[in-house]
Amino acid sequence: MKIEIQSFKDLKNKYNLSENEKAFKESDKTLPISITSHFLSLINLEDENDPLRIQVFPSVLEEEENELENIDPLEEINNSKSSRLIHRYESRVALLTTDICPMYCRHCFRRRFTGKMMGAISNEEICEAADYIQKHPKITEILLTGGDVLTLSDSKIDFLVKTLREKNPKLIIRICTRMVVTAPSRITNSLIDIFKKYNSAPFYLLTQVNHPRELAPEAIEAVNKFLNAGIFALNQTVMLKGVNDNYDTMEELCNKLLFNRIKPYYVFQGDLVSGTAHLRVNVNKTIEIEREMRKRLSGLAMPNFMLDLPKGGGKVPLSDCYLKSFENNTYTFKTIDGQEREYPHIT
Ligand SMILES: *Cc1c(COP(=O)(O)O)cnc(C)c1O
Ligand code: SF4
């Protein structure tokens, strides 16, 4: 895996930056700058507003203060059982396996944690997490997230999966990674072989693809390695201004994912994380896009649009409402193209 840009200085020296990009000031509060060679090769550098570029080139707009935002709007710290295990929903936990990513997304919602150079989870922390799950039998799934879990070495991943599965053989494991689009060469046969060894319960691959151009042939090949090992693939997209906040791009993205055997799972409304306001889309617009996608996309290609509510409220769907009223024992619904239909109440 080659990381072409490792600092803001690097970026300034190598590329012609726009005014907003140039005015960015790096500090210990900002998310680090890192861009992989692979992702850079997909960017049209002539275009200041290229939808891939604005996800990874920093901007002075990240420094704008907004009182509605903070560094932990989902109150993940409150729901944390250790520095790395988040237990917000009864049936599933999220494990922050590392804070490192090969490439940092400017819209990252876990900025409070990501890129702080804490590094990989220790073996001791892995054992603690496995014990915690064993003591809470209602937990059926774990999300291996971060940072990017696939920045861990093969031997660390082996230990992690082995430990989790030894103590909890039926635990479903989600591999949450953006590596298939940031650095697809990381998906080696030996990595896949590790997952194959611990097959007492399913794995699911959860990718993050925000624009159809990110699905380059190398990314598709990387996902195919998981699929061919029997690991089902789902995608989570972040709604981003100037990236995918229009009908045609969202439609193309969902169809391209589905065609490549990646089920569109969630589209997330941007969280109120400091430094990401310039990439955030109005909730109204997200709902409008959701409504149009319901017309254009097949049920298989249609993701759930979600909002992770502030103050740790958890996820709720963002969607138009089709039930208009309930009167005289009759439900009145709106059809997808805006007509009305009635359905009786059954007593
Ligand atoms: C989103 C999330 C999950 C997974 O939620 P699903 O709706 O099952 O995808 C689990 N834990 C935390 C802390 C989350 O934010
Ligand atoms: S890959 Fe995920 S964790 Fe890493 S910077 Fe991007 S959004 Fe944040």
- Please give the distance, rounded to the nearest whole angstrom, from the Cα atom of residue 150 to the centre of ligand 1: 19
DSSP assignment letter at 121: P
pLDDT at residue number 71: 84
Give me the amino acid identity at 14: K
CATH of the domain at 93: 3.20.20.70
| pLDDT value of residue 251 | 99
How many whole angstroms from 236 Cα to the centroid of ligand 1?
Answer: 11
Considering the chain, what is the average pLDDT of its residues?
96
CA nearest ligand 2 atom 5, residue: 104
Q: Which ligand is nearest to the CA of 316?
A: 1
* Listed residue (30, 36, 39) closest to 58, CA to CA: 30
The answer as to whether 171 is a domain residue is yes
**Nearest-CA neighbor of 132 among 73, 199, 198, 79?**
79
d(CA 37, CA 295): 37
Residue 11 domain-assigned? Answer: no
Separation of alpha carbons 3 and 6, rounded Å:
7
Active-site residues, by number, are 88-89, 92, 101, 105, 108, 110, 271, 308, 315
Q: Average pLDDT of 160-173? A: 98
- Residue 242: phi, psi to the nearest 5? 80, 0
The model's pLDDT over 79-104, given as tens digits with 9 standing for 90+, comes to 888 879 999 999 999 999 999 999 99
What pLDDT is recorded for position 347?
83
With respect to residue 333, please indicate whether it lies within any of the assigned structural domains: no
pLDDT tens for residues 13-37?
999 999 999 999 988 889 999 999 9
40-82 pLDDT, tens digit per residue, is 999 999 999 999 999 999 999 998 878 888 888 888 988 888 8
Is residue 27 exposed (0-12), middle (13-18) or buried (19+ Cβ within 10 Å)? exposed
**Is 53 among the domain residues?**
no
User: pLDDT: is 79 or 280 the higher one?
Assistant: 280
Residue 5 maps to a domain: no
Given a cut of 90, is residue 280 above it in pLDDT?
yes
- In this prediction, residues 142-157 reach a mean pLDDT of 98
Ligand nearest to the CA of 75: 1
Q: Which domain holds residue 269?
A: 62-317
Question: For residue 100, how far is its CA from the centre of ligand 2 (angstroms)?
Answer: 9
Containing 37, the helix (H) or strand (E) segment is helix 37-42
- Whether 26 is in a domain gets the answer no
- What residues are in contact with ligand 2 under a 6 Å CB criterion? 101, 104-105, 108, 110, 114, 146-148, 178
Ligand that lies nearest to the alpha carbon of residue 147, given by its number in the listed order: 2
Non-local CB neighbours of 238 within 8 Å, separated by 6+ positions: 107, 109, 208, 210, 267, 268, 270
Rounded CA separation 134/128 (Å): 10
The answer to whether position 259 is within a domain reads yes
78 domain-assigned: yes
Rounded average pLDDT over 144-159: 98
Where residue 135 falls among pLDDT bands split at 50, 70, 90? very high
Q: How far apart are the C-alpha atoms of 130 and 198, rounded to whole Å?
A: 15
The domain total for the chain is 1
- Residue to substitute in 76, 92, 265 for testing ligand 1 pocket (most ligand atoms within 8 angstroms of CB): 92
Q: What is the pLDDT of residue 38?
A: 98
DSSP annotation of 32 reads P
In DSSP terms, which residues pair with 343 in a beta bridge?
331
Cα–ligand 1 centroid distance for 142 (angstroms): 9
For residue 70, what is the DSSP state? B
| pLDDT per residue as tens digits for the range 293-306 | 999 999 999 999 99
